[in-house]
Amino acid sequence: MAVQKFDLIVIGAGSGLNVAAEALERGWKVAVIENGPMGGTCLNRGCIPSKMLIHHADVAQTIRDSQRFHIKSKIARIDFKKIVREVNSHVDEEAAGILAGWKNASNGKVFQATARFTGGRTLQAGSAIIQGKNIVIAAGCRPSIPPIPGLAGTPFLTSDDALRLEKQPKTMAILGGGYIAAELAHFFGALGTKVTIIQRNRLLVPDEDEEVAQAFTKEFSKRYAVHLEHVIEKVAYKNKAFTLSIAKKEGGGKKTIKADQLLIATGRIPNSDWLHVKEAGVEVNEHGFVKTNPFLETTAPNVWALGDIVGNYMFKHSANYEAEIVANNLFHAEHKRSVDYTAMPHAVFSNPPMAGVGKTEQELKAENTHYSKAVYPYAHTGMGGALKDSTGFVKVLAEPETGKVLGCHILGYEAPTLLHEVLVLMRNHPNPVQAMQNTIFIHPALSEVVQRAFYQV
């Protein structure tokens, strides 16, 4: 079989396409390998469809909460199938458009196949053998499935397929209490599914600042059945229903839960094992994430890696930033740039939503870092009062001497949007606290809550 040769091979059609597109513009011969729809996890089974679906849940939650504003309302009917089909038809159309564009590229080729390395910069993609002068590994990750007795062979869901479920379950059990669990519990729960969450940690979203996690756990527990510090010991599936045997993590307190659907949301693992990256001389760490240096070069020459498979930050915006760095270092080797993760933010689009950047207070305490702290509630601002938000707050952690922001964490309405003014200052101003204090804010915009937290710190 003849070996097909390329200037660049990109494995994964998510953020890696940003590098591939620039190579095409430069006249390089480019191959893209993707065993699923074009666009990667974010477009097809991650942030884009989930946020489009979650907005429907936000609308439903607004209607349910209207009583607080002395407005009596009622949801007459939810066409769950139509919601899901409408969102996924948009996603599928976008993915098909990307594929069509690549098929029309004169110097580009798409291999719609599973790939694995067979040697240095050599891969088998389906039945084809291909080689690249340069390779970018951007193959992402997949849901981690725990070895629970009885789970294998049952029709459980992961985040990959939950977003395409067209029949709304009356009851759903979710194993896990992290970001994915929080968002999908809100989506299904706000639209009327009775949700039960089984979380082995003492809090939901435990990677958040502890005050945020505590407040979120308290609010979520008012709406859904939340079993903290519990594990599933056994799963049974019969007559289209799941029976879960759960118990306290430290023993005792056994319970039985029945549900129409079981969603596994216990984290994600990198696809490096599927790719056989070690055959190419690419080293991975103890968790399977590809090792890279500050320039995102792997341990193999002319092989770069970015995105979830690297595991530095597992967000779409971080992957896009890493693609920018890889492209620069690939096409401008004489002016290489190292990654700078200063002020890398994240958000959870649940209800209430949350967003954060930098260190949590528990991390600063563990490091014995000296810091100043301020927490300002939404309710103490004009717009927060109008929203009747009694739980939202902004938390700022800063260096007292320099005004450097060590961390900022927000829980409440529009948290992901409110965080952005903090991000701009963290990356571009020597004294973000002073800069925020010196800025004139619109009154009574909700963003005042951020400035007031900075005044207090």
The per-residue pLDDT for 226 is 98
Per residue in 111-166, pLDDT (tens digit) is 999 999 999 999 999 999 999 999 999 999 999 999 999 999 999 999 989 999 99
Q: Is the pLDDT of residue 43 over 80?
A: no
For residue 433 the two structure tokens come to 């606290």
The per-residue pLDDT for 47 is 87
The per-residue pLDDT for 45 is 79
Determine the longest span between alpha carbons in the chain, in angstroms.
73
Domain topology for 4-143+269-335 = FAD/NAD(P)-binding domain (3.50.50)
The per-residue pLDDT for 72 is 96
Residues 6+ apart with CB under 8 A from 252: none
The per-residue pLDDT for 252 is 74
80-103 vs 47-64: helix crossing angle, rounded to 10: 160
Domain topology for 159-266 = FAD/NAD(P)-binding domain (3.50.50)
Active centre residues (catalytic): 443
For the stretch 161-165, contacts whose Cβ atoms lie closer than 8 Å and that sit 24 or more positions apart, written own/partner, are: 161/45, 162/263, 163/45, 163/49, 163/50, 163/53, 163/84, 163/87, 163/88, 164/45, 164/84, 164/88, 165/84, 165/261
**Domain ranges within the chain, ordered by starting residue:** 4-143+269-335, 159-266, 352-456
Query: Does the N-terminal peptide bond of residue 353 adopt cis geometry, omega within 30 degrees of 0?
Result: no
Q: Is 159-266 the same fold as 4-143+269-335?
A: yes
Cα 380 from chain centroid (whole Å)? 31
Residue percentage of the chain with pLDDT more than 90: 94
Quote the pTM value.
0.95
Q: Is the pLDDT of residue 104 over 90?
A: no
Q: Do the Cβ atoms of 272 and 187 come closer than 8 Å?
A: no
Q: What are phi and psi of 290, to 5 degrees?
A: -70, 130
Per residue in 325-374, pLDDT (tens digit) is 999 999 999 999 999 999 999 999 999 999 999 999 999 999 999 999 99
Per residue in 292-337, pLDDT (tens digit) is 999 999 999 999 999 999 999 999 999 999 999 999 999 999 999 9
CA distance 274 to 139: 10
Nearest to 310 by CA among 329, 328, 284: 284
Q: Which CATH architecture group holds 352-456?
A: 2-Layer Sandwich (3.30)
Q: Among 37-51, 280-294, 429-443, whose mean pLDDT is lowest? A: 37-51
Average pLDDT, the chain: 96
Nearest to 356 by CA among 421, 411, 434: 411
